[in-house]
Chain A
Amino acid sequence: MNDTQLILTMFAAVGLGTPLIFATVGEIITERAGILNLGVQGMMLIGAVTGFWGTFQTGNLVFGVVIAMVCGAALSAVHAFTSITLRVNQIVSGLALALFGSGLASFLGRAGSEPLVGHPSRAQFEPIFTGGIADIPIVGPLLFGHDPLVYLSWLVAGAASYYLFRTRMGLSLRAVGEDPASAEAAGVHVSKVRYVHVLIGGALAGLGGAYFSLALTPTWQDDPIGAAGWIAIALVILASWRPWRAVFAAYLFGAAERVQFTLQTLGEPWSDIPSTLLAMLPFILAIIAMIVLTSGKRARLLGAPSALGVPYFREQR
């Protein structure tokens, strides 16, 4: 593999990894509150279609992103209601969200007399820096050759890390996911904390979805995000519930996805490795991580929230 291809691969990995960062950080925040939301795929797709629509209507990218985040959060509110207020099964509720979201997204993209499907976006995110520092060999493109959302994703991961571990609200969040009864005894409003962070998670998933339709492939197609929502759920484990690690985990998978194309360009014997097998990699890694890292008592060492997926009944003191 020569240098150019390496840089190209790394550059592409950043692009492919960016939506995963948003969605993974969002799911980390949600799970840190003790709520398992398996509906990431649905929220991302809703973000993708509504973001595309918003920009398609106005030509304004910021508007599209905001709409995507609002709609992602709105969908996650359904899950928040079922799992926090109604305290029903979070697993089934999350799957329902995934299903409903993907159905609705595809529906919205195709419905009406002038469907979105097949249309290119009226605007798309472009690299901020052109010329100058972006032309520095190697470092230039990798650090300065990206669109604004890439930088936003770094900011989001950094901010989420700071929030979780360096602020009082972050402390309450971690406590609620870990031991809601003790948190409540110490004066924390458990339901409120959970609602807020499920919504934040939904908004970030929506943003991640919008990255696909407004930056990566700025044309509306039926299934623009592949399995990104499901991968994000796996990445949460690989990142062991820490936002900064999500960045590296996401880029690793971005690279794994890109490698399929890179290998084709390298000729024999690399091009013989079937892409269908490479596609398994993220999931195999996630399972190994799950078994090795989170089995039994080790989960606690990693940071897996103990109360994850367990409904909290306030009256059970």
Chain B
Amino acid sequence: MTTDAPTDAETDLAVELRNVDKAFYGVKANDNVNFRLARGEVHALLGENGAGKSTLCSILAGLYRPDAGEMFLNGAPTVFKSPKDALASGVGMIYQHFRLVPNLTVAENFALGHPSTGIRLDQKKLQEEAAELGDRYGLPIDPSARIWQLSVGEQQRVEILKLLYRNVDVLILDEPTAVLTPQESKQLFKTMRQMADEGRSVIFVSHKLREVKEVSDSVTVLRHGRNVGGVATADAEAEDLARMMVGRDLVLPARTDTTQPGSVVLAVTDLRVEGDRGLEVVSGVSFEVRAGEIVGIAGVSGNGQRELALGLNGLRTPTAGRVFITNFDVTKASVLAHIYAGMSYVPQNRLGVGLAPGLTTEENLALKAFRQPPYSRGRRLVPSAFRSEGARQIEQYDVRGVRPGLPIRLLSGGNLQKALIAREIEMGPKVLILHSPTRGLDVGATQTVRQLALAERARGVGVLLISEDLDELLALSDRLLVMYEGEIVGQMNTEDATAERLGLLMAGKRQGEQT
């Protein structure tokens, strides 16, 4: 085995990964990754969604076991069998979805599963210890508060302190700032610094360049599951990091047709939508989509795209702003009214939102149109129409693997998506929203889906394409908008787009701030 790892044995390494491979269902999430974490540093792990950051962290935290490669903890070869195992060795991870029991107090969460002896649970002592720990790290908490009473930022503090309570040496924080306000992020960075100064090592997963520049000592960049570079943060410019992260030469779109966009079919003004936790996550978005054009929304996931789509479809009532489909105001209208006004929507979550997993393919194809002929006559369903219409669409949209009477969940991802798009197109929409339409699909299905999108554009439908895949956005869109933290931070014609420019916008550098 040859490693290109430098042999500077004098650096004090806390963790080292050599040549780590990890595949899921044959797709390599980590491909020959090397990773070196020094003691007492804050080490940023940078990469786009799907670059393999979370997989790498989960390997470090004992959640996954690598298919190949080695791990060294303080220089000694180590294998973690479970997160419990890793925790006992001093490696702890804070997941994006916190692992705190909501109904227990802060102090009780500290004690849960803690390998201390004794039967009795000394609440008073625990609370004192918890409060003391919080004070020491500048993370004040109320140890007797129950988790559900805390804000997300406070919950994160508890997660961090919980690991410190177990005295871990290596803390992995998976996109910790995604849920924080800027002020809370500032405080978190201070704490990270302090932990590093104490000799602990902190892995900071992020795709936000500004934060990486601000807090980290060194950076490892992952792309497509591969390690594409490790540098000291001080030596790297934001532009360099952006290029490493996005890292592709621009494939210019093959669209040669220059159809003239028609009238406005979707108009959005100052739209505001709340997230699942009741905080505003779409903050005053305005844009238009014209008939016969594809407007792409770029951005790292979790910046309000999902809620934007929900707000545009009536699945979540906006708190402010207006949505027009052609000239109908549908801002506060029901989902059904949106459908009748000409809105079609291919959600990110195919099974469970877009499709009913337990129903058959034919039934799923009729999921929206079943109220009208030919599927129903009066109040009665017409089974023969389900069969004939189903057969036609399965044929026309090349949905494969359909067996009569069997639930649709048995189809492959690509065929699920073809069926879903078929149904949405068959509704004859004026506006078509596609959210990550090719995620997880193979090359063939990806091609089909993109062709369908272009065909709809040619037919005069206004298409809104929300995606994290820059290649896809560049190949299909006429115009691009970039969404960051609930706002449109930049827009451009596709011809003017470069990877650097998009990368910086996606990482939170506004158009005006760019040099």
A residues neighboring B (CB under 8 Å): 165-172, 174-175, 178-179, 181-183, 185-188, 300, 303, 305-306, 317
Contact = CB atoms under 8 A, between A and B. Distances in A.
Interface of B is mostly: loop
Contact of B100 (A168, A174, A182, A305): A182
Contacts of A165: 121
B120 A188 contact: no
B255 to A, nearest CB: 41
A168 B148 contact: no
Interface string B78-104: 000001100100000000001111111
Contacts of B444: none
A188 B102 CA distance: 16
Given A166-B120, A186-B114, 9 more contacts: A167-B120, A168-B121, A169-B119, A172-B113, A174-B108, A175-B104, A175-B112, A178-B101, A300-B148
B118 interface: yes
B244 to A, nearest CB: 30
Contacts of B111: 168, 171
B115 interface: yes
Contact of B104 (A166, A167, A171, A317): A171
B119 A175 contact: no
Nearest to A188: B113
B113 A179 contact: no
B497 interface: no
A185 B120 contact: no
6 closest Cβ contacts across the A-B interface?
A186-B113, A187-B113, A185-B99, A182-B99, A179-B101, A187-B84
B63 interface: yes
B119 to A, nearest CB: 5
A19 B148 CA distance: 35
B108 to A, nearest CB: 6
Contact of A167 (B98, B102, B109, B121): B121
A167 B84 CA distance: 21
B112 A183 contact: yes
Interface of B: 63, 83-84, 87, 98-104, 108-109, 111-116, 118-121, 123, 148
A187 B103 contact: no
Contacts of A167: 119-121
A145 to B, nearest CB: 34
B87 A171 contact: no
A203 B102 CA distance: 30
Contact of A168 (B63, B104, B119): B119
Contacts of B101: 174-175, 178-179, 182-183
Contacts of B102: 178-179, 300, 306
A73 B116 CA distance: 31
B218 to A, nearest CB: 29
Contact of B121 (A166, A178, A187, A306): A166
A181 B100 CA distance: 9
A171 B121 contact: yes
16 contacts: A167-B120, A168-B120, A168-B121, A171-B111, A171-B112, A172-B112, A172-B113, A174-B108, A175-B104, A179-B102, A181-B99, A182-B101, A183-B101, A185-B99, A186-B99, A186-B113
Q: Most chain-A CB neighbours within 10 Å: which of B84, B87, B113?
A: B113
Nearest to B87: A187
A158 to B, nearest CB: 15
Contacts of A169: 119
A186 B121 contact: no
Contacts of B109: 186
A298 to B, nearest CB: 12
B410 to A, nearest CB: 20
A218 to B, nearest CB: 37
Contacts of A300: 102-103, 148
Nearest to A187: B113
A253 to B, nearest CB: 27
